[in-house]
Structures are given as structure tokens and as C-alpha cells.
Chain A
Amino acid sequence: MTIQGINLTSSVQDPILEGLKRGWKVWGGSHGPVPDLITCDVAIVGSGAGAGVTAEILVRAGLDVVMIEEGPLRSSSNFRQRESEAYPQLYQESAARKTADKSINILQGRCVGGSTTVNWTSSFRTPAGTLTYWAEHFGLKDWQVDALSPYFDQAERRLQIGPWLTPPNENNDLLRRGAARLGIPAASIARNVKGCWNLGSCGMGCPTNAKQSMLVTTIPAALDAGARLLVQTRADRFTFSGGKAAALLVHEVNQAGALVNVARKAIKIVAKHYVLSAGAINSPAVLLRSHAPDPHGRLGQRTFLHPVVMAAAVMPQTVAGWQGAPQTIYTDHFLETQPIDGPMGYKLEAPPLHPLIFASTVPGFGASQAALLRQFPHTHVLLALLRDGFHEQSAGGEVRLRSDGSPVLDYPLNAFVMEGARRALLSMAEIQFAAGAKQVLPIHELARPYDTWGEAREGILALDMQPLWTKVVSAHVMGGCGMAADPQLGVIRPNGQHWQIDNLSVHDGSMFPTSIGANPQLSIYGMVNRLAQDLCRRLTGSSAAWA
């Protein structure tokens, strides 16, 4: 049954509802109150990419695992492909999380499965150049391509990551065609899907369970094996004793993140080992609230975003950017044609388009904006992910705490970053005109639609690239608990263990000492796979492979 295109009933089986019927141990939100005291072998904060992989591996080894997730447990029955439902339910701060000066909008998941529930499935192994830089600058000499390869192999097998053989949608094919006409190499993006319906709604939660997110893979496997899951429960802080974490204090929260019961004392979780997998921003924030030792001032520092700028083109033909798998074509030409530690390079991709986010992205208002919005079916959008963290002028941002203890990322968009952003706008416009665009609009408050490449080039070169005029967004938050072989350079050791707290590890994107230079989900899966297997050996004395 459908009303205005909205399905009210789904024909798809829901593995989460089935698991709950089987007796999964889930508390919080509508699943019942969380007990005052919980004990376990390992407490994992989060349920996204790092948490899911860690949980499955540790549970297989017979460890008693508890996962703590701030967001709700939602599943395919809830995923109705509506932005107005998805953003408040599934994203941090209702998809409106912003940096301190409000110049960058950050998309991060906040639900069971974390960002893997709402990402666009793009899967890349960590680029060799990034790993080489980590070895040279952070002493991570054991984190090279050959050493990581088996862990990526396992991740790809477990999560069905492989080539996407369906022809790209028009929004992506325009990138392929435009780049080809300019002699720029472009390629297909591998995806973590099984039986994908090619709907294009990945960002609102996969309604068919085709996306092999943590929600439908590792988390159900861990719960089936006896793990416990606390939802709508926020990790507040650790208590420490004798150089170890003694307890984790958590609170039940509602959909908007407010405490359910302000009078209730913190819930106490006592574990032998703790794993922080709350994502960059939230993982450092838990440690900051805990006043965790930070003798070298590294905590929360060097947080990276792959700052994204965009260009919208009007094509003569229908593009229907909402339809079909998002981000299936990319080009790394502008990453590979300059040194990694030189001027900022960028990766180009074609994102999905949906009405609410489109209306928020198109600059201006009134009749001029309405005219742009009416071109929605003909609109093609490219985005550029700027590779940050490899240059002295690209130190990223710093996670801080507000007076209420909530985290905020201060990420200055300095001249170095904005120079990269200008080059990216130029590259995207040139490709879009080469693909046949009638008009190209760089997403900038002071730009106008340009009718020719020459006009666009002149216009973009003249733009004042200031924050809050240049539209900048991010969906890849990395760093803040950086890994390094030297305690003066990082928060965690190369085995994921905190440098100063023995029974605490960090297993998520916050461990990256720079940005990845590619969509990071597979980097997290592969690297956390290695960390979790190592942790398993330390805790149990036996090994447990993932897949």
C-alpha cells in the first residue's frame, strides 16, 4: 500500500524484529529500562563500524560483551525512505551537527549500526600513500598494505564488498562521461551490498536490508551469540583507579538526546576491558569528560573531516539523482597528480539527491532559489572530498566540550583548505560542462549559475572563498584519538590500546592519524578487524578470525 509514493507496509523480512522475537538481550528506549549495574568482560561504546566488528570477534571467542549505543534500534520496517524521519532518528544531532563556527555541517550516524546504517556503501581500502605517510610520521611501520591485506580480505568477504556491476545511474555516469572527455581516469566504486534493489535511499537506512551494514551483519551475529545491547543510552564518562578504567557511567536518553530521568543516578558498567567505538568526536569526548590522562595534549587534536565542497549542474536530460545506487563512480585523478603532502588533493564522487537536503544545499531564497529547485530532476551534483591532515597547514580540528558536556568540533577553514576548495570547484565545473551541462552552480552563497566553462572559471577564480559563504559539509569524521608508535604523537598504541590506560582501547575512525583520502568505512572494518583479533588474543589467549 502506498500513499504519495510512501510505502506503509514493507514486503521485506525484518531481521531485527525477528531477532527481538528470538529473545535478544536489548534494553533502553522502548526495550525496557537499563539495570543500574551491569558487569561483563568487555564493554563497547558504540555500535557502528568499529563496535560491530569488535563485538562479533570477541563474542565468537566466548567473551561476555555489552554494547552501548546512544541512538535507537531501528530496522528495515522503520526505513520508509523519508528524510524527515531518517534525519532525527538515525543521525547525530538530527543531521544538523555543525562545527564550532557553524561553517561545516557534519553527517554522522546515531543509531544501532552507527554511520554504517546510513552511509552510501562506498568501500575503498586505505590508500598505500596514506599508510606510507603514517609509517614515516607516526611510526606505524606495521600498518602497511601487505600487513593489512588479509584483514581487508576478511572484511570484504564478511560484508559482501565487491564490484558494483549494475550500470551507474545518470548522476554517476555524468561523472564518468565528463571525466572521459577530459582524459581523466574514473572507475567504479565497490559497495557492501547483497541483492541491492538500486533504490538510492541508502542514506535513510536500507529498506531492503541489502546494505551489509553492522545493523544486519555483525550486531545480529553478536546478539545471537549472547551479547547485550543498550540503546538510547549515552556513555558519559569513565572512572579510573590505579591506572585502569574502573567503571563506565552511562545515562538513558530520549530521541533528542536529553536525559530520560534527570533524577536517576548514572548507570554503572563494570568490565574487564573497555572499547571506545563511538566515532570521532564522540570517542574523544568521552575521554575528555572522564579527564583521562593526556600528558602530551593529543586528545581531541588532529580531527579530520575530508571537507566537502559541491557543484550543481543543470543537464538537458533528466538526471533523477535520487534514483539508483549513489556514489558508484569516482576519480582520484586530483589526489594522484600531486604529492600527498603538497596542496590539498581531492577525490570526486556523485552523491544521491533528495528533496530536503537539496533544498538546504541550494543557496539563496525566493524566486531565484525556486527556479533552481524546479530544476531538481535535471540536476547533477558532484562533490569533492578534500584530503586533510598531510600538510603542516592542515592540522584539522579540535574536539572540545561545551559547558553541558556535549562535544563540539572546532575546525578552522583556513586559506590552505579553501585554496583546495577553489581548485575542486574548478575541476568539478570543467567536468560537468564536458559532460554537457547547460549551467553549473558552485555551491557558494555569492556564486551564480554559469553558462559556459570559461564563464565558470572566471567566476570561481573571483569567488571570495570564506567560510559560511562556501558551502562545506562532511560525512567522514576521523582522528582525535590518533594512533602512533610514540606516546608523544598519539593517544593510542599501534595495537589500539590507550597509551596511559591499560584496559581501554579505541576501535573506530578516531584512531586515524590523518584523514584516509577515501571514504573510510572499509578502513575502519579492516583495521579494527586486526585490532579486535589482537585484543581477543590478549584477553583470552586464543585467536579468533573474523571471516
Chain B
Amino acid sequence: MQRRRLLGWGGAAVLAAVLAGAGAASLRPAIRRGLLTADGQVLVNALGQAILQGSLPEDNPAVALALTGLQKRFEELVQALPAHTQSDIEEMLVALNHPAGCRALMGHSIDWATASPQQVQTALTDMQKSDWSLRRQAYLALHDLIGGAYFAAPQTWASLGYPGPVAV
């Protein structure tokens, strides 16, 4: 990840400086050309369990299946976006995947592999309510990406009481 690209994300200069200080070599991509890396899958799972708590199925095998579907649809959603938006998302996720970047963006350090949904929710609440517009931008992006990817699937519609479209 190049510092030049990070500066391309609206208002991300401060974040770029934090990450530049951390050293570019320590940055690990979470999504590359629209496909989640192993780190990215862990990140999306953790965000999904926090954001979708109460909407995800209740039993463990069904949750695992739902999260796998979420990852796939997350990728599809990102792949359909224009290049500049894909770059924004790549930069946001690479920042979240780095301790310094995560602190800058969420105000918390999160180990995505072990974090509880409650820990992630606490960080999301701070982003949502932050006075810093960059954090609010990132919060809204995560909210829309996770919610949009999850409820794109017809299997999730029953939880909303939505019967699906009328056949034509």
C-alpha cells in the first residue's frame, strides 16, 4: 500500500500519516481486486457478527453458513463498484487491519480474530458518534457494506418479514 494512494481517500491525510509512521511494509491487504484475503475474511466475519447481531441465525452451523455467504456477497458488492470506490474500500480495510490504522479509524485497537461482538460494537459506536467526519464516513461505509451484502440474499428476507417479489 502506497502512501500516495491513501491520500486519495477523502480526508484520509491524518490516517495516512499514522500508517506511514508505522511503515508500509507492515500493512496487510484485506481485499485485493475484489477478493477478500484470509485477513479480510476474519475482518468481515467480526464486523458481520457485530453489525448483524440479532439478525443472524441463532445456531452455530447456520451462523457459519450465513457468514460465508456474507463474505461472498461482500466481494460481489465490491467488485461491482467503480475503481475509485474499490480503492477507498481497500484503503479503509487495510487501515482497519493494522493496529495503528485501527486506532486512528475506530479509536480502538482490535484483534479481529479474537474480538467479541461487544468489543467491535463499542468501537463502532465511537465511530458513529465521533466528531471526526473521517470516522463517521468509515462507520457508514461499514454499515452499508455489511448490511447491504447480508440482506441482498433472499434467504435473509424472512427475518425481515419480506415475502419476496410477486412472480411475473
Q: Which residues of A contact B (CB under 8 A)?
A: 2, 4-7, 10-12, 80-84, 87-88, 93-94, 96, 100-102, 197, 199, 201, 207-208, 255-258, 322-323, 354-356, 358-360, 363-371, 373-374, 376-377, 402-404, 406, 445-446, 467-469
Contact = CB atoms under 8 A, between A and B. Distances in A.
Contact of B152 (A83, A101, A373, A445): A83
A377 B79 CA distance: 31
B51 A256 contact: no
Interface in B5-60: 8, 10-11, 50-55
Nearest to A87: B80
A445 B53 contact: no
Contacts of A359: 147-148, 150-151, 160
A343 B163 CA distance: 42
Interface in B63-102: 73, 76-77, 79-85
A83 B144 CA distance: 14
B54 A5 contact: no
Q: Which secondary structure dominates chain A's binding surface? A: loop
A404 B84 contact: yes
B119 interface: no
A5 B164 CA distance: 5
Contacts of A257: 82-83
B168 A355 contact: no
Contact of B128 (A10, A354, A374, A445): A445
Given A83-B152, A359-B160, A366-B54, 12 more contacts: A4-B164, A5-B157, A6-B154, A7-B167, A81-B166, A84-B152, A84-B153, A102-B140, A365-B147, A374-B161, A376-B162, A468-B136
Chain B interface size band reads: 35 or more
A48 B154 CA distance: 30
Interface string B111-128: 000000100010010001
Given A4-B154, A359-B147, A94 B140 contact: no
Contacts of A256: 79-83
7 contacts: A102-B140, A208-B168, A258-B83, A358-B151, A365-B143, A370-B52, A406-B84
A102 B137 contact: yes
A84 B85 contact: no
A420 B66 CA distance: 41
A8 to B, nearest CB: 9
A376 B161 contact: yes
B129 interface: yes
A94 B78 CA distance: 9
B168 A12 contact: yes
Contact of B137 (A364, A373, A468): A468
Contact of B144 (A12, A199, A360, A402): A360
A377 B51 contact: no
A87 B52 CA distance: 22
B83 A365 contact: no
A207 B168 contact: yes
B2 interface: no
A315 B140 CA distance: 27
Contacts of B159: 373-374
B165 interface: yes
Contact of B129 (A376, A377, A446): A446
Contacts of B83: 256-258, 404, 406
Contacts of A197: 166, 168
For B73, B76, B150, B154, which residue has the most chain A Cβ atoms within 10 angstroms?
Answer: B154
Contact of B160 (A2, A358, A445): A358
Contacts of A358: 151, 160
Nearest to A378: B161
B67 to A, nearest CB: 15
B165 A370 contact: no
B140 A468 contact: yes
A84 B51 contact: no
A343 B55 CA distance: 41
A176 B61 CA distance: 47
B157 A6 contact: no
A406 to B, nearest CB: 6
A369 B166 CA distance: 27
A102 B82 contact: no
A102 B10 contact: yes
Contact of A367 (B53, B147, B151): B53
Contacts of A445: 128-129, 136
B10 A101 contact: yes
A5 B81 contact: no
A369 B124 CA distance: 13
A366 B53 contact: yes
A356 B148 contact: yes
Nearest to A372: B54
Nearest to B153: A84
Given A367-B54, A468-B136, A469-B136, A377 B161 contact: yes
Contact of B121 (A366, A370, A377): A366
Contacts of B155: 4
A406 B162 contact: no
A358 B148 CA distance: 9
Given A96-B144, A101-B10, A255-B80, A374 B168 contact: no
Given A356-B152, A468-B140, A82 B121 contact: no
B50 A355 contact: no
A287 to B, nearest CB: 20
B80 A365 contact: no
A253 to B, nearest CB: 10
Contacts of A366: 50-54, 117, 121
Contacts of B164: 4-6
Contact of B53 (A7, A101, A356, A370): A370
